Amino acid sequence: MTLVLTTYDWVPEFARGFVRDIRVRWLLEELGRPYRIETVPLRDRTADHLAHQPFHQVPFIRDGDLTLFESGAILLHLAEGTPLMPPAQRPHVQQWLIAALNSVEPFSMAWVIPKFFDQDEAGAAKREPLLRQRLAQLQTALGDRPWLMGEGFTVADLLMADILRLPARNGLLDDLHGLAAYAERATDRPAFRKALADQMAHWRAADERRGAA
C-alpha cells in the first residue's frame, strides 16, 4: 500500500519550503519509497485532523495500518532497516536525531518565532546568541567528519541539516564554515532538491486552486 504523507492544503509564502513534511519527503526520496500527499486545511482545522495529530499540526503519515505523527518519530520509523540507519550505529544515529530535535531545534525555534512569526527583531536578537552558541558547539562536535556518523549520511544528518536551513539562510552559519559546508553538502543531495521542488510545486498548485475558486 502506498504510504500517505499529510501536510497542509496551503501555507503563506514565508513558510513555504520549511513545512516539516519536507523532512519526510526528503527521507522518502533518499529511500526511493513511493508516497502520495494528502492535505488537511490550515484554516478550518477538522476533528479528523485532530484524530491523527493531537496538536492539530503536520506532518503525519499513514503507512499501511500505522498512523504516526511527530516528524522525528516518522523519520525513525521510516529509516529503520535502511542504510540511513545502519544497525551498528543505531544508538548514535538516534542520539544525534534526538539532539537535532531537542538540543538544536528548540534554540532555532526560539529565534524563528519572534523573527518570522511575530516580526519582532528585538525579540529575535535576544534569542540569537544562544542559538549561535549551539551552532558553534555543533560545529565543534562535527569536527572534520563529513557527516555526524563519519563517512555515511544518515537520517540524523537529514534532520540536523533541515533544522540548519533557516539559520543558514539568515547568515547564522556565515562564520561557521565547517557547519555551513555540512549543511550545503546535505541540501545538495538530489533527494533534498526533489523534495523541496515537490513541496514548492504543492503550494503553487494550492495557489492555483484558490485562484480558480
Ligand X SMILES: N[C@@H](CCC(=O)N[C@@H](CS)C(=O)NCC(=O)O)C(=O)O
Q: How far apart are the C-alpha atoms of 131 and 104, rounded to whole Å? A: 8
User: If we measure between CA atoms, which residue out of 51, 56, 57, 101 comes closest to residue 75?
Assistant: 101
CB of 145 to ligand X, least distance (A): 26
Enter the C-alpha cell of residue 147: 557527516
212 alpha-carbon distance from chain centroid: 31
Residue 39 engages ligand X in binding (rule: CB under 6 A):
no
Residue 20 engages ligand X in binding (rule: CB under 6 A):
yes
Q: State the Rg of the chain over Cα.
A: 17
Residue 58 engages ligand X in binding (rule: CB under 6 A):
yes
Q: How far apart are the C-alpha atoms of 36 and 8, rounded to whole Å? A: 13
Query: Count residues contacting ligand X (CB under 6 A)?
Result: 8
Fill in the DSSP letter of residue 46. -
Which residue from 35, 37, 62, 70 is in contact with ligand X, where contact means CB under 6 A?
70
Residue 154 engages ligand X in binding (rule: CB under 6 A):
no
Which residue from 5, 19, 68, 148 is in contact with ligand X, where contact means CB under 6 A?
19
Residue 56 engages ligand X in binding (rule: CB under 6 A):
yes
164, 116, 190, 9: CA torsion to nearest 10 = 130
Residue 195 engages ligand X in binding (rule: CB under 6 A):
no
CB of 22 to ligand X, least distance (A): 8
User: If we measure between CA atoms, which residue out of 82, 109, 105 comes closest to residue 159?
Assistant: 105
Which residue from 6, 71, 187, 199 is in contact with ligand X, where contact means CB under 6 A?
71
The answer, yes or no, to whether the previous bond of 12 is cis (omega within 30 of 0) is no
**Span of 54-62, 154-162, 171-179, 189-197 interacting with ligand X by CB under 6 A:** 54-62
User: If we measure between CA atoms, which residue out of 161, 154, 201 comes closest to residue 184?
Assistant: 161
Site for ligand X in 72-91 (CB under 6 A): 72
**Span of 70-78, 130-138, 179-187, 203-211 interacting with ligand X by CB under 6 A:** 70-78
Task: Give the nearer residue to ligand X in terms of CB position, either 58 or 176.
Answer: 58
Task: Give the nearer residue to ligand X in terms of CB position, either 59 or 186.
Answer: 59
Contacts with ligand X, residue ranges (CB under 6 A): 19-20, 56-58, 70-72
